[in-house]
């Protein structure tokens, strides 16, 4: 007897697949659990910036603080907004590293479950959903960005399921009263949409989700009017809940952008964008993907050719069921592929000279808007495309004669289909793993201390900064520091109050004041001058000698030979100590005095840190 879609057996199989995915996510976390703070973590945009936003938000949670004194002599809270507001609770209740790992495991589980449910909803195939959920989970997401990308499949699944409920209620042409079960389901889907908005960033990806959902809602509404059917409430309700969630979690930022107070001008008002080549931008967005959106989806192109080949075979055999299934898959795949091409094209055009000229001449809220982040939708679309292309090849697909020469499936033929099906995912997953931080951590587990890389412990150098704290012997809140050749995040993480910091929205006046410290140094190099003046998110000390290298290793045994710093400006801004990763040979001329001759370091430390007192 054929089982219905919601039969207990089907549900048990769904629970089994979900359990498999969650167990697999735990296996992916094992290297990090074993290595602890010795784990290798992508520090760019994570350890050097966003992580501090969570730590500061957690530290001042429920206090009503308007500034964070630990960064940039009092950074407004709007300059350190965590990308996933709800993730702040992890950092409130747990230590930083534990919170980071919990975040990483959480997004792994959500990314798998969301993609599994979405693909099952679109194709009806659990095994395809399972394997694509694992593929999506393997992508190198940044935990500090929360569910910005990993949560998109769950968001889309919730919107689609809400739409399904809407259609069920109006199936007879008139809306009927929903049952209690339908009401609870609807509330659950709306809660998931709200949950996504609180675990993702309006600035980074929320605007793209709102834009995509808004366009879809308009299209569905237009189609309903054209066919004289009932008004589609579900997509608009989904859009409203998503928008309200973003508004509620970004009130301070929205107020600053729309109603700036006197003297609240952001440094972004001086940002000057540089044009990029359209072809290169398009290519990088298409494959492998720009940073944060890498999908390595090259395996899908042979897959599309295979589907076309199978369609030709099915037509030759006059297999009508296979022809319909393959044609439907290819047509739907073509539609998804067009969306991907459109996103890549928009990204390429957005960086071209005419558009950049307009962006540079724009003032106000639009000056800092980055439409290019619409590419953050691409990983989800690539996986949806994969689901449509792979579905006809699934061993559970109902037309073996379209793939095998036999009229009936044989054990060898079924084995061949499984081999082909799993091989596709195996190749794709291997490509992703070879380009992920997990590979580095597995290598470190195998090679031990012989594996040389900057890990969490070495980046923040807690043991070294404890030595420095003992040597200075003063309460940290009573003085200010600045870093040179070391990411300022290391000092801030260890509780020091810093003049420097990484922020995409800090006061313009502070940028101008900070610039005076290194004005002569910037004049030596057009590269570092342009980098700071035209962008400036990294409000760091930078030098012509080392350009923008902020992590000078002790094994280099180098030095700053002719450093130009305005130490009078440093004193004016309250700086008492400079933490340098190497010798400053003209320190006496600058008015800097070593706290002690030998650097602060340990045998295994990444840095030597020389502490200079500002006279």
**Residue 395 confidence (pLDDT) above 80:** no
**Residue 107 or residue 394, greater confidence:** 107
Q: From CA 39, how far away is CA 611, in angstroms rounded?
A: 27
- DSSP letter at 267 equals G
Burial class (CB in 10 A: 0-12, 13-18, 19+), 446: exposed
| 278 and 381 inside one domain | yes
For residue range 205-234, what is the model confidence (pLDDT) as tens digits? 999 999 999 999 999 999 989 988 888 999
Residue 338 falls inside a structural domain: yes
| Residue 126 phi, psi dihedral angles, 5° rounding | -75, -40
Closest CA to 41 of 536, 438, 531: 438
% of the chain at pLDDT higher than 70? 93
Q: Summarize the confidence of residues 73-94 as an average pLDDT.
A: 95
| 392 and 509 inside one domain | no
Among 55-59, 170-174, 319-323, the minimum mean pLDDT is found in: 170-174
Last-in-domain residue among 373, 403, 433: 403
pLDDT band for 400, please (50, 70, 90 cuts).
very low
Q: Is the Cβ–Cβ distance between 112 and 174 less than 8 Å? A: no
Secondary structure (3-state) at 82: coil
Handedness of CA 314, 317, 321, 327 (dihedral sign): positive
Kindly give, in sequence order, each residue whose CB lies less than 8 Å from that of residue 405, ignoring residues fewer than 6 positions away.
none
| 295 and 389 inside one domain | yes
Q: From CA 267, how far away is CA 511, in angstroms rounded?
A: 7
pLDDT of 217 reads 96
Q: Both ends of the chain: CA-CA distance in Å?
A: 87
| Residue 585 phi, psi dihedral angles, 5° rounding | -70, -25
Secondary structure (3-state) at 550: coil
| 399 and 466 inside one domain | no
Residue 254 falls inside a structural domain: no
pLDDT band for 363, please (50, 70, 90 cuts).
confident
**Residue 171 or residue 468, greater confidence:** 468
**Residue 365 confidence (pLDDT) above 90:** no
Last-in-domain residue among 385, 403, 421: 403
pLDDT of 405 reads 47
Strands (E), 24-102: 67-68, 75-76
| 398 and 469 inside one domain | no
pLDDT band for 417, please (50, 70, 90 cuts).
confident
Closest CA to 394 of 386, 383, 406: 386
For residue range 436-460, what is the model confidence (pLDDT) as tens digits? 999 999 999 999 888 989 999 999 9
| Residue 600 phi, psi dihedral angles, 5° rounding | -85, 120
**Residue 406 confidence (pLDDT) above 60:** no
Residue 478 falls inside a structural domain: yes
The residues pairing with 612 across neighbouring beta strands, listed in sequence order, are 578, 594
**Residue 403 confidence (pLDDT) above 60:** no
* Ranges 162-171, 263-272, 501-510, most confident: 501-510
Residue 489 falls inside a structural domain: yes
| 579 and 483 inside one domain | yes
- Domain range enclosing 559: 461-614
User: On the CB side of 365, how many CA atoms lie within 13 Å of its CA?
Assistant: 9
Mind giving me the DSSP string for 122-148? HH--HHHHHHHHHHHHHS---GGGTTT
**Residue 433 or residue 558, greater confidence:** 433
Residue 27 falls inside a structural domain: no
Q: How far is CA 588 from CA 535, 563, 583, 584, 591, in A?
A: 32, 11, 12, 9, 5
Residue 595 falls inside a structural domain: yes
Residue 296 falls inside a structural domain: yes
Residue 57 falls inside a structural domain: no
Last-in-domain residue among 377, 403, 429: 403
Q: Are strands 575-580 and 610-614 parallel, antiparallel or unpaired?
A: antiparallel
| 381 and 491 inside one domain | no
| 371 and 513 inside one domain | no
Closest CA to 579 of 560, 562, 561: 560
Q: From CA 510, how far away is CA 393, in angstroms rounded?
A: 59
For residue range 546-605, what is the model confidence (pLDDT) as tens digits? 988 899 999 888 899 999 999 999 999 999 999 999 999 999 999 999 999 999 999 889
**Residue 84 confidence (pLDDT) above 70:** yes
| 495 and 391 inside one domain | no
Q: Are strands 583-584 and 559-560 parallel, antiparallel or unpaired?
A: parallel
Q: Is the Cβ–Cβ distance between 225 and 194 less than 8 Å? A: no
The total number of structural domains that make up the chain: 2
| 502 and 600 inside one domain | yes
Q: From CA 186, how far away is CA 162, in angstroms rounded?
A: 6
φ/ψ region of 296 (left if φ > 0, alpha if ψ in -120 to 50, else beta) reads left
User: On the CB side of 475, how many CA atoms lie within 13 Å of its CA?
Assistant: 2
pLDDT band for 538, please (50, 70, 90 cuts).
very high
| 375 and 508 inside one domain | no
Q: From CA 116, how far away is CA 41, in angstroms rounded?
A: 27
Secondary structure (3-state) at 576: strand
pLDDT band for 263, please (50, 70, 90 cuts).
low
Q: Is the Cβ–Cβ distance between 57 and 96 less than 8 Å? A: no
| 467 and 610 inside one domain | yes
Q: Summarize the confidence of residues 86-95 as an average pLDDT.
A: 97
């Amino acid at each position: 007897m054929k089982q219905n879609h919601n039969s207990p057996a089907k549900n048990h199989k769904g629970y089994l697949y979900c359990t498999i995915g969650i167990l697999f996510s735990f296996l992916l976390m094992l290297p990090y659990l074993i290595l602890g703070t010795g784990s290798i973590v992508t520090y760019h945009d994570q350890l050097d910036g966003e992580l501090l936003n969570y730590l500061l938000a957690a530290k001042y949670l429920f206090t009503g603080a308007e500034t964070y004194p630990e960064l940039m002599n009092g950074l407004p809270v709007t300059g350190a907004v965590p990308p996933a507001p709800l993730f702040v609770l992890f950092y409130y209740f747990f230590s930083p590293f534990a919170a980071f790992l919990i975040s990483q495991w959480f997004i792994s589980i959500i990314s798998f479950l969301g993609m599994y449910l979405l693909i099952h909803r679109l194709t009806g195939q659990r095994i395809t959903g399972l394997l694509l959920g694992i593929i999506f989970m393997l992508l190198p997401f940044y935990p500090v960005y929360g569910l910005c990308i990993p949560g998109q499949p769950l968001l889309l699944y919730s919107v689609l399921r809400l739409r399904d409920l809407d259609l069920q209620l109006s199936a007879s042409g008139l809306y009927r009263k929903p049952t209690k079960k339908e009401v609870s389901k609807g509330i659950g889907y709306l809660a998931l949409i709200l949950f996504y908005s609180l675990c993702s960033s309006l600035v980074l990806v929320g605007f793209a989700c709102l834009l995509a959902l808004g366009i879809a809602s308009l299209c569905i509404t237009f189609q309903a009017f054209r066919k004289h059917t009932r008004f589609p409430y579900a997509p608009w309700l989904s859009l409203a809940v998503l928008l309200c969630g973003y508004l509620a979690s970004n009130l301070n930022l929205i107020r600053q952008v729309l109603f700036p107070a006197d003297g609240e001008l952001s440094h972004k008002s001086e940002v000057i964008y540089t044009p990029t080549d359209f072809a290169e931008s398009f290519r990088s967005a298409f494959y492998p993907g720009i940073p944060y959106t890498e999908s390595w989806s090259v395996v899908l192109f042979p897959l599309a050719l295979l589907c076309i080949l199978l369609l030709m075979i099915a037509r030759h055999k006059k297999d009508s069921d296979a022809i319909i299934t393959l044609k439907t898959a290819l047509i739907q795949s073509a539609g998804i592929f067009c969306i991907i091409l459109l996103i890549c094209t928009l990204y390429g055009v957005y960086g071209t000279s005419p558009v950049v000229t307009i962006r540079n001449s724009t003032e106000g809220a639009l000056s800092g808007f980055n439409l290019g982040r619409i590419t953050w939708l691409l990983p989800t679309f690539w996986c949806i495309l994969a689901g449509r292309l792979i579905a006809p090849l699934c061993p559970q697909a109902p037309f073996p004669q379209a793939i095998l020469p036999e009229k009936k499936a044989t054990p060898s033929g079924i084995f061949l289909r499984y081999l082909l099906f799993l091989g596709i995912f195996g190749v794709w997953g291997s490509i992703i793993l070879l380009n992920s931080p997990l590979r580095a951590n597995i290598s470190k587990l195998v090679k031990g201390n012989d594996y040389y890389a900057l890990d969490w412990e070495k980046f923040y150098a807690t043991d070294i900064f404890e030595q420095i704290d003992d040597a200075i012997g003063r309460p940290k809140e009573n003085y200010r520091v600045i870093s040179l050749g070391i990411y300022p995040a290391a000092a801030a993480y260890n509780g020091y109050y810093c003049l420097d910091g990484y922020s995409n929205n800090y006061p313009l006046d502070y940028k101008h004041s900070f610039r005076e410290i290194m004005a002569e140094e910037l004049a030596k190099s057009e590269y570092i001058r342009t980098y700071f003046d035209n962008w400036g998110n990294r409000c760091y000390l930078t030098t012509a000698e080392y350009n923008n290298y902020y992590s000078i290793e002790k094994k280099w045994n180098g030095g700053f030979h002719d450093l130009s710093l305005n130490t009078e400006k440093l004193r004016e801004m309250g700086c008492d100590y400079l933490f340098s990763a190497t010798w400053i040979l003209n320190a006496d001329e600058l008015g800097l005095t070593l706290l002690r001759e030998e650097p602060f370091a340990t045998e295994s430390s990444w840095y030597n840190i020389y502490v200079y007192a500002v006279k």
